[in-house]
Amino acid sequence: MKTNLASRIADTIIRYRLMVVLVFLAILAVAATGIPRFKIAASADTLLAKDNQLYIQSQLAQQTFSPDEFILVAYEPTHHEVFSEQTFDDLERLSEAFKAIERVEAVTSIINVPLVNDAADLTGNTQVDQLTWEFQRYTPETMRSLVSGHPIFTDLLINSQNTATAIQIVFKDNPELVKIERKITALKAEFMGKDLPDSAQEQLDALAKQADPIRLALTEKRKQEIAQINHITSAVAERANVYLGGPYVVGQHLIDIITSDLVVFGIAIVLVIALLLAVLYRRFRWVIFPLSACVVSVGITLGVLGWLDVRATVISANFVALQIILTLAVMIHMISSYRAIARDKPQSHQHERVKAMLHAKLAPCFFAALTTSVGFAALLFSGLAPVISFGTMMLLATSISLLVSVIGFPAGLACLKANSDGKEWGVFSTLLNRAAGVSLNKPGWVLFVSAGLLIVLSVGILRLNVENSFINYFADDTRVHQELAYIDKEFGGTTALDIIIDIQQPPSDASLLLSANSVNQLQLAQAAVKAFEATGSVTSLVNFTELAKQLNNNKPLTEYELSAIYYLLDKKVVNQLVGAYFSEDAQQLRMAVRIKDTTEGLDREQFMTQLRQDMQAVSLSEQHYQLTGLFVLYQDILARLFDSQITTLGLVYVALGLVFLVIFRSVKFALIALVPNVLTTLAILGMIGWLGIPLDIMTITIAAITMGIAVDDTLHFVHSYRASAAQGTEAATRNAFSDSGMAILITTSLIAIGFSLFAWSDFLPSVYFGLLTAIAMLLALLADMTLLPALLNLLPGKHNQNINANVQEGAHHAK
Amino acid sequence: MHYKVLTLVFSGWMLTAVTGCAQLPDKQATEQTLTFDKPTQSMSAQEAMSNGQSIKISTSQGEINVEPAVVSMAQTSLNSGAATGGEDDPWEGFNRAMFSFNHGAYKYVLTPVTKGYRTVVPDPARQSVGRFFDNLREPLNLLNHVFAGEINHAGSNLGRFLINTTVGVLGLFDPATSLFGLDKQPQTIGDTLAAWGVEPGPYLVLPILGQSDARNGVSVLAEGFVHPVNHVTHAPHNYQLRAVDGVDDFSRLSDTYHTLYNEADDPYIFFRNQYLQAQKRDMWFGKQTSDEQSENEN
């Protein structure tokens, strides 16, 4: 950027300072009306590319088998037996209360399911639907013998140790939403693997718009329902532990805790950063300006995103934190520069100071924003919807932050009077001086140590893995964790995994429903699935044939008997009974599995691999079954995200190198500037690997975040270095350290301390996110304060002279 | 889910209705008469299971034993049946004719009549009538048990007859079960023949009584002489309506029969194969069950 351009911009900003401030406030006011429209979309489809086949398959399977939405309420008596009158009374009372909740379709527990274990019970004129505790008032001992080890109710209504029982609350579908979702899936399925024509896309958008308010209302409703259920169960709290579980409860807890984290830690971080700013600068305005810049930047960005209806996903929700970091960085570079000018020329007029500040910092700040933007723009090529939206958001956020900090802030500053400004803290200056000295005197040694350290850290990348345990997101000692973990362990797991099997061997007689071979194929597959420690409840048609076998003196049904039962039952009843597990039209069988999220040392990727091998072992080949459901979807998303993060990193490096080349107009400088960035991003990934922290959806963007931070530091440092390169290596180094180094050090301290507050969160992804961001800041600081100057100083003289000449030329222009 | 579970257990009722084959063949008979058409090695795992075998599979989690869920016994044949061809139905022409005749009889005579009976006679009375005839049968059960060498069961039959005839007012009530814990131990001549190793023989449709086999045909004929009142007074639930064995409510049973008849592409094949598969299944698994029972008794 030409320096006279910078001067003209500076003059314009100062001249129209009031207007600029008013314009920004006006923009903020307009944008603020869009903030309520801003939404975080938490559903799985936001994480997927539009034509993700796995997702469409899952949706199709969902429609074929339409399983119920339910919540499990576990009841663990503290002082009495599970099979006791007290339990039955409590279950009865709780069930009555649950039934009164509006959206509840049915409430099932051991007291209202019909129980038979002897075929003789069924002869004569017994009404089977009255073989329930409610009708028969069975004794506790009879109940124990009837319920314990039941092939369908174990892990669902009774745990296998018989220490707790559960009530299953089944909710009604929203018919309108089901209809819309069917249309959406049909459209997507039609164009699966092809390009979506515009007309279809328009239809999809229109449908999504219809579905939206219904989904929102449903989320709100679910929240109320969970509160109602908790209120109802408090009545038995003194004699039993009550736990709530099921996928919807996990989802609700996630939303709750993320929201409360945002509020609590958002405020705490702002307060701590304000405090640190106050301590570091001891000036009121240096607290107000940076914080206002953050508020204005984030406010405008949220508003714009709200108006454009771009939704944050679980992944891109981090953009707020990142934008605050970037805004603070620019602000502190500007402030540091201003303060240096104020100290050098205490008599100068405020406008002169602002102008000088802009003169010195407009270019590097612009370039820093540019490189950061390029880094994020590379994410647009990742091919993954959530990553692309994250990239887009960051592009927008970076631009807005830049405008606010380099135009809005100086305008605001120009409105104030010149103040005397204090010195920077001695500790910082000493530290920076030492660092400068070391990198001047022993550049080779510094290079060796810091590069060595970063490389050793980077090796940890090989140990990186992704895991996705929803329950382990919550800290062990929280009530939420205990509740979810209890249900997970005792009542058949949490995360759904569906195995959809195509029927390959049609029966020999067309009158038959299924061939014995097909059912036995399912039996084999189910046995293989159940053998895994991590699988909780596993339900399919063979649970029913197992019950039939028990009732039939332990002899299996014949295929004719199975078909006869199917035909004898009312079609509607059949659909309710086995519709979730068998589709006659689609000729598919479904095995519904819940994975125990709390399984010790569960490696989900390995689990999937072994599961596929085992399906092969029971002679189910790849093309004859599909794995779907939340478990598979998240596993797939994670794997893709992980791959894309790693592959886009390469792309980001290349893009950055090119931008550096344009900015520095020197291959050497471009390469040198690239080194700390590459090493920092690799080192943070490696560090995560060494620490054994599994990457998940919340923390997987850490590499991109680190890059954003490191690039900023590098650019400012190199820019300062080159500004005084004409005066020789030593002067250049010292100037870089005192000018940019101070700002980098302050920014790092602020952010690192502020974000470490997340360590107190009960939500582990927040903890990791906060700590990893802090570590990323420190690593970037390390790389840019040691490796970078060492590399710059190790440059051969010839190149140095060339660059000096360049810079002198630049300096000449400036004059 | 509530409804699902209801219906689930309701299906249990249907199940007994469909599978209720009362004969328990002797283990000797099982060993003698059942063979696989092909060696097991050449079958896939699920085929072996469909023929009643438990299978060991090795997965990533180690070896697992898997029991059959549903059987067809397609590749299993009775020794005698094997000689008569794959279908075990050498008398198909006769059987089909008889099947059609029975169907007409059910549709136009028996169903309307039993519906009337049910409407007129109250439920407890129908139960007592059933018990009265059951009691009359006890001496025959006793004899059959004695001939089959099942002395314990014969003792039960004697006890039941004495108690129910006296305390139970000529068998109208069943205090032997409710007060003395002596459960019913019915035994037909067919069971006794099976115990002696007589093979079931070809498939046979009996007039009115429906699907059966040669051995049972003999049994029914003989019992008809020995104990004619039994078959006359009981609803004809045992044979073509084997599906509804054990349930004393013919109007519901006839619905069952007609539903299955209408669902099947070829009702004759449907009822025949249902009978034959169940017969082979019962023989194959009867061994295990009778082993367990004798363990329980000891």
Can you give the residue ranges of every domain in chain B?
56-120+188-283
Distance of alpha carbon A139 from alpha carbon A416, whole angstroms = 84
Q: Pick the more confident residue, A593 or A566.
A: A593
Q: Does the distance separating the beta carbons of A511 and B264 come in below 8 Å?
A: yes
b (16+ CB within 10 A) / e for B13-26: bbbbbbbbbebbbb
Asked if A10 contacts A334 with a C-beta cutoff of 8 angstroms, the reply is no
Distance of alpha carbon A673 from alpha carbon A508, whole angstroms = 72
B contacts of A108 (beta carbons < 8 Å): 1-2, 5
Q: Pick the more confident residue, B139 or A727.
A: A727
> With an 8 Å Cβ cutoff, is B269 touching chain A?
yes
- Among B12, B45, B243, the residue with its CB nearest the CB of A618 is B45
b (16+ CB within 10 A) / e for A194-228: eebeeeeeeebeebeeebeeebeebeeebeebbeb
Distance of alpha carbon A14 from alpha carbon A362, whole angstroms = 14
Least confident of A350-354, A606-610, B10-14: B10-14
> With an 8 Å Cβ cutoff, is B66 touching chain A?
yes
Most confident of A45-49, B93-97, B199-203: B93-97
The pLDDT of residue A812: 46
Among chain A residues, CA nearest to B266: A511
Q: What percent of chain A has pLDDT over 70?
A: 93
Q: Are strands A69-77 and A165-171 parallel, antiparallel or unpaired?
A: antiparallel
Q: What percent of chain B has pLDDT over 70?
A: 56
Residue A228 confidence (pLDDT) above 90: yes
CA angle at A497 for the pair A492 and A503, rounded to the nearest 5°: 115
At A570, the pLDDT band (50, 70, 90 cuts) reads low
Q: How many CB pairs under 8 A join A and B?
A: 247
Most confident of A79-88, A258-267, A431-440, A487-496: A79-88
The pLDDT of residue A796: 52
Least confident of A422-426, A722-726, B110-114, B228-232: B228-232
Q: Does the distance separating the beta carbons of B288 and A554 come in below 8 Å?
A: yes
Residue A128 confidence (pLDDT) above 70: no
The predicted model gives A212-234 an average pLDDT of 89
Task: Kindly report the nearest CA distance between residue B196 and chain A, in angstroms.
Answer: 23
pLDDT in tens, B260-284: 888 888 989 888 888 888 888 888 8
The pLDDT of residue A470: 79
> With an 8 Å Cβ cutoff, is B296 touching chain A?
no
pLDDT in tens, B44-88: 888 889 888 888 888 999 999 999 989 988 877 665 444 333 456
The one-letter amino acid code at A215 reads R
The predicted model gives A503-513 an average pLDDT of 87
B contacts of A130 (beta carbons < 8 Å): none
Distance of alpha carbon A24 from alpha carbon A26, whole angstroms = 5
Asked if A82 contacts A163 with a C-beta cutoff of 8 angstroms, the reply is yes
The predicted model gives A340-356 an average pLDDT of 90
- Among A106, A559, A619, the residue with its CB nearest the CB of B70 is A559
**Of A456, A446, A409, A472, the residue nearest A699 (C-alpha):** A472
Q: Does the distance separating the beta carbons of A510 and B274 come in below 8 Å?
A: no
pLDDT in tens, B140-183: 778 778 777 788 888 888 888 888 888 887 777 788 877 777 77
Q: Does the distance separating the beta carbons of A614 and B59 come in below 8 Å?
A: yes
Residue B236 confidence (pLDDT) above 60: no
Residue A418 confidence (pLDDT) above 90: no
pLDDT in tens, A17-63: 999 999 999 999 999 998 888 877 666 555 655 557 777 888 788 78
Task: Kindly report the nearest CA distance between residue B124 and chain A, in angstroms.
Answer: 10
The percent of chain B in helix, strand and coil, each rounded to the nearest 5, is 65, 10, 30
At A379, the pLDDT band (50, 70, 90 cuts) reads confident
Predicted complex ipTM exceeds 0.90: no
The pLDDT of residue A42: 60
Give the position of tokens 């696989």: B36
Residue A408 confidence (pLDDT) above 90: yes
Asked if B7 contacts A577 with a C-beta cutoff of 8 angstroms, the reply is yes
Residue B8 confidence (pLDDT) above 60: no
Q: What percent of chain A has pLDDT over 90?
A: 32
The pLDDT of residue B247: 34
- Among B1, B6, B50, the residue with its CB nearest the CB of A516 is B50
Whole-prediction pTM? 0.76
Q: Does the distance separating the beta carbons of B3 and A106 come in below 8 Å?
A: yes
- Among B8, B246, B270, the residue with its CB nearest the CB of A577 is B8
The pLDDT of residue A524: 94
The pLDDT of residue A294: 93
Q: Does the distance separating the beta carbons of A515 and B44 come in below 8 Å?
A: no
Distance of CA A224 to the CA centre of its chain: 24
B contacts of A568 (beta carbons < 8 Å): 14, 17-18, 256, 259-260
The pLDDT of residue B26: 39
pLDDT in tens, A273-331: 999 999 988 889 999 999 999 999 999 999 999 898 887 776 677 788 888 888 999 99
pLDDT in tens, A730-780: 888 888 898 889 899 999 998 899 889 889 888 888 888 889 989 998 999
Distance of alpha carbon A258 from alpha carbon A267, whole angstroms = 14
Distance of CA A261 to the CA centre of its chain: 14
**Of A259, A182, A187, the residue nearest A219 (C-alpha):** A259
A contacts of B52 (beta carbons < 8 Å): 556
The predicted model gives A790-800 an average pLDDT of 66
Residue A88 confidence (pLDDT) above 90: yes
How many angstroms separate the first and last alpha carbons of chain A?
Answer: 14
**Of A511, A568, A563, the residue nearest A541 (C-alpha):** A563
